[in-house]
């Protein structure tokens, strides 16, 4: 698959099953992400890969965070939170770890982490896997951030769900270039 094809054909896939990327495949995915454009080469990021039984631990963290932030959460809401990480065999959480810099504002560092996650999703697709970037309330929760090894001021930019596609792919969106591009 050429880079151009991968970019043009990329399509998120929500239903992901075993096998997920592992070993060399996972290394290749993360290595591709770490080549993202990054102003000042600040490396303002950290990535956490969660797979196998550790997904249950992440689900327990989501449920604990929900319980603490909303003590009235129903059992159905708590089990949904517990099961959320089971939607794919592998999840990569992308954390922004901002670096104070006179020329590189936070927004540019967020962009670098986002580019890294997008690079990882393309690297997964190019190896035949499906990917879906998710956030939800989990990404903005301080307890989830702490459980993933983040510090106050850090931020979860995305959870990249990765695995083997199950079911039909969504039709590709074919945006009209003229709606989004002006030749100046």
Ligand X SMILES: Cc1cc2nc3c(=O)[nH]c(=O)nc-3n(C[C@H](O)[C@H](O)[C@H](O)COP(=O)(O)O)c2cc1C
Q: 148, 12, 23: which is closest to 87 by C-alpha?
A: 12
Give the 3-state secondary structure of residue 120.
helix
Among residue numbers 3 through 62, which ones bind ligand X (CB under 6 A)? 11-12
**Residues 93, 158, 162, 163: which binds ligand X (CB under 6 A)?**
158
The residue with its CB nearest to ligand X is 12
| DSSP 3-state percent helix, strand, coil across the chain (nearest 5) | 45, 15, 35
Among residue numbers 77 through 136, which ones bind ligand X (CB under 6 A)? 132-136
Which residue, 27 or 142, is less far from ligand X as judged by CB?
Answer: 142
Which residue, 27 or 140, is less far from ligand X as judged by CB?
Answer: 140
DSSP state letters, 18-61: SSPP-HHHHHHHHHHHTTS--GGG---EEEEEEETTHHHHHHHH
Minimum distance from CB of 173 to ligand X (Å)? 5
The answer to whether the beta carbons of residues 50 and 85 sit under 8 Å apart is yes
Which residue, 26 or 96, is less far from ligand X as judged by CB?
Answer: 96
Residue numbers at the binding site for ligand X (CB under 6 A): 11-12, 132-136, 158, 170, 173
């Amino acid at each position: 698959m050429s880079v151009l094809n991968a970019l043009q054909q990329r399509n998120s896939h929500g239903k992901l099953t075993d096998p997920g990327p592992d070993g060399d495949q996972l290394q290749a995915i993360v290595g591709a992400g770490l080549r993202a454009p990054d102003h000042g080469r600040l490396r303002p990021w950290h990535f956490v890969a969660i797979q196998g039984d550790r997904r249950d631990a992440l689900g327990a963290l989501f449920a604990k965070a929900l319980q603490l932030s909303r003590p009235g959460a129903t059992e159905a809401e708590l089990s949904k939170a517990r099961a959320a990480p089971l939607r794919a065999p592998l999840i990569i959480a992308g954390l922004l770890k901002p670096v104070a810099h006179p020329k590189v504002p936070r927004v540019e560092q967020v962009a670098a982490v986002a580019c890294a996650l997008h690079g990882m999703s393309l690297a997964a697709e190019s190896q035949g896997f499906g990917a879906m970037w998710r956030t939800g309330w989990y990404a903005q929760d301080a307890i989830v951030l702490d459980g993933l090894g983040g510090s106050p001021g850090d931020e979860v930019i995305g959870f990249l769900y990765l695995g083997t596609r199950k079911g039909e792919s969504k039709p590709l969106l074919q945006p009209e270039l003229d709606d989004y591009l002006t030749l100046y």
